[in-house]
Amino acid sequence: MASKFSEEDFSCPVCCEIFTDPVLLHCSHSVCKVCLQKFWETKGSRECPVCRRKSSMSDPPINLALKNLCETFLQERSQRSSSGSETVCSLHSEKLKLFCLDDQQPVCLVCRDSRKHTNHKFCPIDEAVTDCKEELKTALKPLQEKLKIFTDCKLNWSQTAEHIKIQAQHTEHQIKEQFEKLHQFLRDEEAVRIAALREEEEQKSQMMKEKIEKLSRNISSLSDTIRAIEEGMRAEDVLLLQNYKATVKRAQCTLQHPEELSGALIHVAEHLANLKFSVWEKMQDIVQYSNEEL
């Protein structure tokens, strides 16, 4: 299986990495599909990157066998890494003693001499660990500072959000209180104005009642007089003449004509005039007084 091969067996001759979508040329060499396309674009001609043999195919087929082997190799290497063998090279089963400064990864002595790491710089693992920790410590400091800024900001914003709720509840309570005062003021103002209207209504109604009663008495008196005169006119001649003087005197009415009504109706204008403005001015006083309490 793939475990019997080394990493070099699955490495692309162009990028020196494990094959990705390897294509098979007529010369039997395999190259990553992307690497081949870039190589052809750079060269300006279609030839094998290994043997320089011309290729007649513009789109070589995928080497499925090699692709499957590469995927299996990568999977086995991943499993070996996750099984606790991190201190041993997954390719050569040698102890990882060096750190490749170019690839930024631990390697064994065999890896150091492989083609993949040609002309690369190395340092001992312990030195690399010290340097990496210092670099990470330096990189970690601004992250920690930013985390503190974010945490403090979140706390502040959370407190602000809670304060917004408290503000809204308190303000709603005050709004209801102010409107209740205004409602009560309007109810009181309405009661006062209706009471004044009722009082005027009672006065005017009593006045009209007295006038109507007086007029009714005059009508009754005039009706009696007219009826008596009409009866005297129907009497016998001698009797009519005997009573003529008294009848004429009775016909002389001393009653005054009904006086014209003046000021009898409700003074509607006085009750409604400037109602909105006078009430609004008083309401403004209430609102201003309430705001001073805040």
Q: Tell me: the pLDDT tens digits for 217-274?
A: 989 988 988 998 888 888 888 888 888 888 888 888 777 788 777 778 988 888 787 6
Beta bridge partners, 99, equal 106, 123
CA distances from 77 to 18, 54, 70 (A): 12, 35, 10
**How confident is the model at residue 294, as a pLDDT?**
55
The answer to whether 63 touches 29, Cβ cutoff 8 Å, is no
All residue ranges of the chain with pLDDT < 50 are 84-85
Q: What are the Cα distances from residue 23, in Å, to 10, 63, 293?
A: 13, 5, 86
Give strand pairing partners of 157: none
State the number of CA atoms in the 13 A half-sphere of 113 facing the CB: 4
Residue 85 has a pLDDT of 46
pLDDT computed for residue 83 by the predictor: 53
CA–CA distances in Å: residue 223 to residues 212, 217, 229: 16, 10, 10
Q: How many whole angstroms separate alpha carbon 66 and alpha carbon 64?
A: 5
